[in-house]
Amino acid sequence: MAGLKELRIRIGSVKSTRQITSAMKMVAAAKLKGAQDRITGFRPYAEYMSRIASSLTDPFDEKRISPYMLPNKSNAVLIVLFTSNRGLCGGFNNNMVKKTIEFVEHKYADAIAEKRLRFFCIGKKGVELIKRRGFAVERSNFSLYDHINFGSATALSDELMQQFVSNQYGTVILAYNRFKNAGVQIQTIEQMLPVLPPENRKRPADYIFEPDAATLLNEVIPKTIRIQFYKALLDTNAAEQGARMTAMHQATDNATELIKELTLQYNKARQAAITNEILEITSGAEALKS
């Protein structure tokens, strides 16, 4: 059994750790509230924009198909991987990277073999984990989470669209954690470019557009792509705060249980030490009598 001094030191250390994890839990909970409000408020807008784009698209009319929907000459594949800049959020980053690696190894095995697969990591942890898996990181961005806003996200998505149009990349994939609630994050992989046609390929309803549908399509499709990218960023931010709050809550509970166990060990050791002292005193008294 460990000595009394060692147990006191361990109990003090675990109490200090519990204070840190409890504080981090409260900070994450405060950040989660704002992040959750932003993504839940933005999702309906993103969904309606997607519906509008679908109503404007007509696979039977070449004038009503955006250049962002057509394959280009490039066969390079870019994976935009969203992770966090900091750890202490459970399996948030590892699960996302694992899901992404499984996806690319299954669908883009040829691109991996021919070195046509590139990674654009948004978040420091993604860079570390992807390199550890043996993949090269072509680009990275760590500052996007510092001030999350539509303008900074639009600058990046516009750059990706320009690279697609200039045949630098033939396919752009978004990989991110979709926020469901504080305890659940859904690893999501979706295609950003080229824009996939509507699932329902029937001729759309006969609307009257002003101006014409082709002009509206050229405005709506790029905006829909920007919204898709921004939504992935908001989802990742909210999911990260939820994962960190849950992880710190579990860590705090584990620290509390460990303190109880160590305190019990300490009391037992202290009781044993007192008993031994009493026995020594009693034995000494009996020896003096003899």
Residue 196: band (very low, low, confident or very high) from pLDDT cuts 50, 70, 90: confident
| C-alpha–C-alpha distance, residues 226 and 164, integer Å | 14
- Binned at pLDDT 50, 70 and 90, residue 278 comes out as confident
- The Cα–Cα gap between 146 and 164 comes to 27
What distance in Å separates the CA atoms of residue 283 and residue 174, rounded to the nearest whole number? 77
CATH class of 31-245: alpha beta
Q: How far is CA 10 from CA 261, 268, 273, in A?
A: 11, 15, 19
**Confidence band, pLDDT 50/70/90 cuts, at residue 174:** very high
User: At residue 187, what is the residue type?
Assistant: Q
68, 222 contact by CB (below 8 A): yes
Pairing of strands 171-181, 184-193: antiparallel
Return the amino acid letter for 268.
K
Whether the pLDDT of residue 205 is over 90: the answer is: no
Evaluate if residue 203 carries a pLDDT over 60. Answer: no
The arithmetic mean of pLDDT across residues 271-279, rounded, is 85
pLDDT, position 139: 95
Dihedral over Cα of 55, 61, 66, 68: its sign: positive
Mean pLDDT score, 154-175 = 96
How do residues 39-50 score in pLDDT, each as one tens digit?
Answer: 999 999 999 998
Task: Show me where the domains of the chain are located.
Answer: 4-21+248-284, 31-245
Phi and psi, residue 58, nearest 5°: -135, 105
pLDDT band at 282 (very low <50, low <70, confident <90, very high): confident
Q: What is the pLDDT of residue 85?
A: 96
pLDDT tens digits for range 222-254: 999 999 999 999 999 999 999 999 999 999 999
pLDDT tens digits, one per residue of 55-72: 787 766 677 788 898 899
Q: Where is 219: in which H helix or E strand?
A: helix 213-289
Per residue, the 3-state secondary structure of 220-231, as one string, reads HHHHHHHHHHHH
Query: Does position 276 have pLDDT exceeding 90, yes or no?
Result: no
User: Mean pLDDT, the chain, as a whole number?
Assistant: 91
Which run of H or of E encompasses 189? strand 184-193
* C-alpha atoms less than 13 angstroms from C-alpha of 206 in its C-beta half-sphere: 0
| 275 against 2, higher pLDDT | 275
Q: What is the pLDDT of residues 66-96, one digit of tens each?
A: 889 889 999 999 999 999 999 999 999 999 9
Would you state the structure tokens that stand for residue 91, as one six-digit string?
Answer: 């399996």
- pLDDT grade for 142, boundaries at 50, 70 and 90: very high
Give residue for tokens 């807008």: 45
Q: Residue 90 half-sphere exposure, CB side, CA atoms within 13 Å?
A: 21
> In percent, how much of the chain has pLDDT > 90?
74
| Contact present, 134 and 39 (Cβ < 8 Å) | no
User: What's residue 248's pLDDT?
Assistant: 96
Fill in the amino acid letter for 247: A
d(Cα 290, Cα 22) in Å, to the nearest integer?
A: 60
Instruction: Decide if 251 contacts 21 (C-beta within 8 A).
Output: yes
Evaluate whether 31 touches 205 at the Cβ level (below 8 Å).
Answer: no
Looking at this protein, which amino acid is placed at residue 16? S
